[in-house]
Copies of this chain bind each other. A is one copy, B any other.
Amino acid sequence: MKLDLKGLLIVISGPSGVGKGTVRSALFNMSGHDLVYSISMTTRKPREGEVNGREYYFVSKEEFQKYIQEDKMLEYAEFVNNYYGTPRDKVMELLEQGKEVVLEIEVQGAEIVREKMPEAIFIFIAPPSMQDLYKRLLSRGTEPQEVIAERVQKAQREIKLAYLYDYIVVNDTVENAADKIMAIIRAEHAKVERTIHQYKEMLEVK
């Protein structure tokens, strides 16, 4: 992605259990923004209350693999025998239209997006402490013991990758975290390399 691509791609990621989804929801519930959420695709089963096409596109493993084979995924990650990923076309279309597109994805997927689109904005959601993260991982009662164990190990690997990101936002409270992300997006818009073209046009009007 070049800076003169009209849209802005915002990648929200962070370790398993940190509360990425909740922060992203809070962000979208804020008023006065113009963000578009890119819904991920997954092969995992919907959790209670999750709706197809809202939280995720829920597809079969075969469908997902077809997307991969046809190079239709911007990024994807495999975890506990399930795939999670972002279909590419929709994201590119939104960016062409000048939208602010938010991806909320796994750390592994964020690595791929960084390679393909280094100009995106990478935000790492961090827990206020490791204890806090462990507590969250262990209290999520929806999964069997071995899934939780794998999730803990995954989080321990992921937590070390924060240095690769542009910003670290601590999820101390969901509101604080969402608020900070909004500030980051506003600030990114004011960055000189994003505004200088528009600014020069303004200068022509003498």
Seen from chain A, the residues whose Cβ lies within 8 Å of a Cβ on chain B are 123-124, 126, 128-131, 159-160, 162-163, 165-169, 179-180, 182-184, 186-188, 190-192, 195-196, 199, 202-203, 205-206
Contacts and interface: CB of A to CB of B under 8 A. Distances in A.
A192 B163 CA distance: 6
A180 B187 CA distance: 7
B180 A196 contact: no
Nearest to A163: B196
A184 B123 CA distance: 15
B183 A195 contact: no
Q: Summarize A's interface: helix, strand, loop or mixed.
A: helix
A178 to B, nearest CB: 12
Q: When A and B form their complex, which 4 residue pairs have the shortest distance between CB atoms, in order from nearest?
A: A187-B187, A183-B186, A183-B183, A184-B187
Contacts of A124: 192
Contacts of A187: 167, 180, 183-184, 186-188
B166 A192 contact: yes
A130 B196 contact: no
A159 B202 CA distance: 11
A169 B199 CA distance: 10
6 contacts: A129-B202, A130-B205, A167-B191, A167-B192, A168-B192, A187-B188
A165 B192 contact: yes
A115 to B, nearest CB: 18
